Amino acid sequence: MLLRFRVANHRSIRDEQTLSLVAVPRRGETKELGTVRVAGIYGANASGKSNVLSALIWMIDAIRSSHTRWGPVGGVPRQPFKLSETGLATASFFEVDFLHDETRYSYGFEVDDTRVLGEWLYTFPHGRKKRLFERSTADDMAFGRGLTGEIQRIRRLTRPNSLYLSAAASNNHPLLGDLYASLVGKVLFAQHGEEDEKLRLHLAKFLLNETDFAPALNKLLRIADLGVERAELVETPDDPVLDEFARLYPEDFAVPSSEAALRAVRARVVLRRSTGGVSLGLDEESAGTRAWLSLLGHALITLRGDCVLITDEIDSSLHPLLSSSLIRMFKDPEINRHGAQLVFASHDTTLLGSMLEDEIMARDEVWFTEKDDSGATSLYALSEFHPRRDENVERGYLQGRYGAVPYLNFDSIREVFRERDDETR
């Protein structure tokens, strides 16, 4: 379960920014704080919403890949702030606080273009901070007494440009391997784009072949009022390229490699329509139907455990009632029994208001991004404005009460057309 994420010097994020999923009490409340199940990020185009999500994606990928896939002499493939010389010369910083087996951990690192400058892992049993390891270089590491195992051997195997946590997981360290799995295996990403949608639809194919998932997936397709009765798999001829993909794909999505999985990869998905019993291929369906099906697979897997789903542009091609229903799945304690979380970016302001439901997004679930004159992104929470219980957040946001909206002067737009017309006379 994600508690906080901090980042500095990644893409448009120059200065340190924090995204918190710790619940914020209203004035006068003294109840024990928990975590929110949903966090939505709003802002103008190019304000840095996607870059906040990109930073978390990059961090998880570094944990997964730095020891096994980054070249020994290839440096660190980071993406620093490029609009000033200080960004290129400054370290990039990433840190995440999370719960594992009901214990809080804090893990982070700093990197430049060539190596890891620092890495640390702390635990907080009974609320008190304890060091598991601290690193300033590959050779200069300090370990806490609570970390046992072959920690020195793993230290010697850790390259200057790879993370110790990544190396420890690759070398089967029990505790660090579990923490690695808690981060890498329990954070799923659904980015906006055609290629990512294809990967999500591949996952949906596997789930249609699994009795634990297929019934729920088809019921959610029917409930969405898309005119779809159910999704089916239709086998296609053997394809050696797909066979090779099948051997790689199950590992990436934690689906067991089996003959059933191979058949699922070779199959194609068709959607049987409610009217006339006609089946259509995905390429014949609307963008909204494909988007809903492709998100359902990730949502079902995330909700089954204490996982986190990160999705950009949750409203892309979806009706507001569908995107709001996805959010409500994560907020409903009957559906979300394991504390799964959803972090998303959106432009759909109806999710901020009360036109669709009494309250879709609570005040501590809404975040904003805004760029300053230097092009640097700032991230801040709606709760910082202490909105009243009856405040219309959607209207306030569109009116610029909280910032994070583009400034558009329509008279300037009209002037562009006047000038064009004058030139053509």
Is the separation of the CB atoms in 158 and 170 below 8 Å?
no
Q: How far apart are CA 173 and CA 184, in angstroms?
A: 15
Q: Token pair of 63, please?
A: 């944990």
Query: Quick one: 229 and 252 in the same domain?
Result: yes
Q: How far apart are CA 415 and CA 398, in angstroms?
A: 24
Say which CATH number the domain at 81 has: 3.40.50.300
Tens-digit pLDDT profile for residues 335-383:
999 999 999 999 999 899 765 556 789 999 999 999 999 999 999 999 9
253, pLDDT greater than 90: no
Q: Looking at residue 254, what is its pLDDT?
A: 45
Q: Token pair of 110, please?
A: 């700093």
Query: Quick one: 28 and 166 in the same domain?
Result: yes
Q: How far apart are CA 194 and CA 252, in angstroms?
A: 19
Tens-digit pLDDT profile for residues 58-78:
999 999 999 999 988 889 999
Q: Looking at residue 260, what is its pLDDT?
A: 58
Is the separation of the CB atoms in 292 and 322 below 8 Å?
yes
pTM recorded for the entire structure: 0.88
Last residue of a domain, one of 304, 328, 361: 304
Using CA of residue 171, residue 176, residue 179, residue 183, what is the dihedral sign?
A: negative
Lowest mean pLDDT among 115-119, 149-153, 244-248, 262-266: 244-248
Please tell me the total count of domains within the chain.
2
Q: How far apart are CA 21 and CA 156, in angstroms?
A: 36
Q: What is the mean pLDDT of residues 264-281?
A: 76
Which residue range is the domain that position 363 belongs to?
1-186+305-425
Last residue of a domain, one of 304, 327, 342: 304
The model's confidence at residue 306, banded by pLDDT at 50, 70 and 90, is confident
Query: Quick one: 168 and 297 in the same domain?
Result: no
